[in-house]
Chains A and B, each alone.
Chain A
Amino acid sequence: MATTKGGVPRRKFLKGAASAAAVGAFATTITGFPHIAGAQAKVIRVGMPTILSGRVAILGTSSRAAAQLAVKEFNESGGVNGRMIELVDRDSKGRPDEAAKVTRDLINNDGCEIIIDAEASSGSFAVQEVIRDLPVLCLHTCSETSSLTADPKIHVKTAFRSARQGIHDAVAGGKYASAISKSKGLKRWMTCSPDYAYGRDNTAEFLEYLKIFDPNVEVVDQVWPKLFQPDYTENITKILQVKPQAMYSALWGGDLVAFIEQSNLYSLFNNITFFSGGLGDPPVLTAIKNLPAGLNTVYRYNRFYPNKPGNQAFAEGYNGIAKQEPTNWSWQNRLACSFIFEALKRTNGKTEGTALASELKGMALDSPFAVEDKITMRDSDHTIIGYPAAWGVTSSKFPYVENFTAPAWSEIIQLESEWKKRKGYA
């Protein structure tokens, strides 16, 4: 005897349920539309794949802390249209395949309607492909690799970058370094950068613009220590033998800390003008026990640059929860949250990827991190402009970098567009 449920025979009910499930699964497979659990719920879930373990865990922990702070403030201010935001983070362990997997899980299983991709570059390229399949709004917040947004072949309509971009830093760095090389007569240059894609690309871009601004520069040697190499003595003594007048390094994080401490033992910086692509991050600056004054570094984060009350308030708030100064990744994630919140306000809480993306395109946001007033999410290639592409000098006084100088954004954009043409991106 068939039992019934609400007047429908049990067998018929089960058949219908199975058919519905099959159709749903089929639709998901064929169309690629994500199953977004709780899409109608009040809470908007924002997923964050990031690196929370291993040698670069600080990338993830400082990204997450900044996003948590932003979400807390947003929710305390009432959310959007009565909807609050919940941040869901997952550890990718720095592996691109894992980054792609956790991003899919965040969207399909955890019901995340927006993704903040706080991955390093290799992970970001993997996440970009997931977003192509599951087109929720995604903001890349840590990858500085220019091609992620500059290359039209990998463009994704709902993916954006809220992070500094390598080519912008290269133009700013080349201009800054060339001014010093010309005034001090620094002709013999050397580089010491980690031997992997980022280290080599970043160094090549810096040298390209250094030579454009100062054609007299000659690169006499280059050393390529391994990524995460514990000891740099062999590289440092080689630099001593080559005797360059100036040096550029794309080392970063703990590797840069070790390199500078070990270089101090040889008094390396007494006779070499040093330019760094990673020294400006406050945790790096504070980890170095004997920070030499007068080293040149790209801006990563500084609570007094841009010198705005909003920037200092951000640093204070961040310090309150993380017990340290924000990193470069912190402000980039904070900015990404601001973009997302503003887009949500404009869509009145609607989270559909293309709707949010159309609001983000060309959005100019008042930001404490803007060099002038606004940071703009450029319409043409979904990346930000107007942030501090600046260089400064280390000092013994907190926050350990001062005298920031930055080229005008109009000049950066002009040289960037020429670079894009050369690369076939425009």
Chain B
Amino acid sequence: MELEALAGCLSSMSCAVTQVSTGLIIGMLLFLVASGLSLIFGVLGVINFAHGSFYMIGAYFAFSAYQLTDSFTLAILSGALGVGIFGMAFERLFMSKVYGRDVLMQLLVCYAFILILDDMVKILYGAEYKLMGMPQTFALPPFQIAGGFIPSYYVFMIGISAVVGLVLWLGIAKTRFGKVVRAAAINPTMVGALGINTTLLYAFVFGVGSMLAGTAGALAAPIRTLTPGMGLSILIESFIVTVIGGMGSIVGAFIAALLIGLTRSFGSMGFPLFVDGMMFGIMALVLILKPSGLLGRPVH
């Protein structure tokens, strides 16, 4: 434990700014992935264990688009939309067949796709690591705020993630379509009886959830190495976030993702050898005190 270093950091404006920004960087990317996972579970009632693989193919889609067009905007769009469309197809062709079935069956389908997608990536791109590279627009020295450092790309990444999260929240909470989605999450039979095509609705929601993972992958592509299997680590952290935030709650996922991000950033100063342990510790604490998560609906 290096609590003295942590206290020193908290009392220094430059250190606090840098570490808070670090927490936001880690947290916002995690939020994008976890909110997709949470959305799919909240509406469809299935846990998409292949969600990490969607993050991976989002990164590879962006990588390919950037190689082909040299346009970062197209790279992000390809990652987001490509995975969104893929997610819809995946839901229609495979996941829809296991709705209402044993969770082990859902796990089996998802695990099969984790392996298939990893191998597909290996065949198409090779087993070696790839890096998309930083777009020239962001090849700038980091911004200095109160003596702390924040790279321009991370400002962009945090901003995009926040906008996507806000649009998602507004769409779910404040629009008629959002009301339908929320109603379908509670009583899909009634929604169907009102003449709404729930099959299409489910596919769309699954597509949006997948798109969030794809967006995160595309945003990570310039700064993280791309390898087959890269989705696994973020999947684990995303599960921690959804458990802490509450399965099905977008706002809960946001709060939990920031909590994990800040734990990682300040933890590296104060308890560097126990950062992962602390994340799981928080999750355990939430499960004991509020098993449905911070903002999750109680399960009866």
Contact = CB atoms under 8 A, between A and B. Distances in A.
Interface residues of A, number: 37
Given A233-B25, A257-B129, A288-B131, A238 B223 contact: no
A237 B19 contact: yes
B122 A258 contact: no
Interface in B11-55: 15, 18-19, 21-22, 25-26, 29
Contacts of B149: 237, 240, 266
Interface in B129-158: 129-134, 138-139, 141-142, 149, 151-154
Given A235-B268, A255-B225, A266-B142, A224 B273 contact: yes
A254 interface: yes
A267 B142 CA distance: 7
B227 A55 contact: yes
Interface of B is mostly: helix
A261 B134 contact: yes
Interface string A221-250: 001101011110111011011000000000
B131 A58 contact: no
A231 B29 CA distance: 11
A85 B36 CA distance: 54
Contacts of B234: 230
Given A234-B264, A288-B131, A240 B223 contact: no
A234 B134 contact: no
A234 B22 contact: yes
A238 B269 contact: yes
B164 interface: no
B146 to A, nearest CB: 14
Nearest to B264: A234
A265 B127 contact: no
Nearest to B127: A57
Interface in B215-230: 220, 222-225, 227-230
Contacts of A231: 25-26, 29, 223-224
Given A223-B268, A254-B227, A265-B151, A287 B130 contact: yes
B224 A54 contact: no
B247 to A, nearest CB: 24
Contacts of A233: 22, 25-26, 154, 265
Contacts of A289: 131-134
B268 A234 contact: yes
A48 to B, nearest CB: 16
A240 B268 CA distance: 12
A241 B227 contact: no
Contacts of B117: none
A288 B230 CA distance: 18
A52 B127 contact: yes
Nearest to A222: B272
A370 B128 CA distance: 28
Contact of B265 (A237, A261, A264, A266): A237
Given A54-B127, A233-B25, A288-B131, A265 B233 contact: no
Interface in B74-122: 122
B9 interface: yes
Contacts of B139: 290
B145 to A, nearest CB: 13
Nearest to B133: A289
Contacts of A230: 220, 224-225, 230, 233-234
29 contacts: A55-B129, A61-B127, A61-B128, A224-B273, A230-B225, A230-B233, A230-B234, A231-B26, A233-B26, A234-B267, A237-B19, A238-B268, A238-B272, A241-B269, A253-B129, A255-B225, A257-B131, A257-B225, A258-B225, A261-B134, A265-B138, A265-B142, A265-B151, A265-B152, A265-B223, A266-B142, A287-B225, A289-B131, A289-B134
Given A230-B225, A241-B18, A258-B131, 9 more contacts: A233-B154, A234-B26, A240-B18, A240-B149, A265-B153, A265-B154, A267-B142, A287-B225, A290-B139
Interface of B: 9, 15, 18-19, 21-22, 25-26, 29, 122, 127-134, 138-139, 141-142, 149, 151-154, 220, 222-225, 227-230, 233-234, 264-265, 267-269, 272-273, 275-276
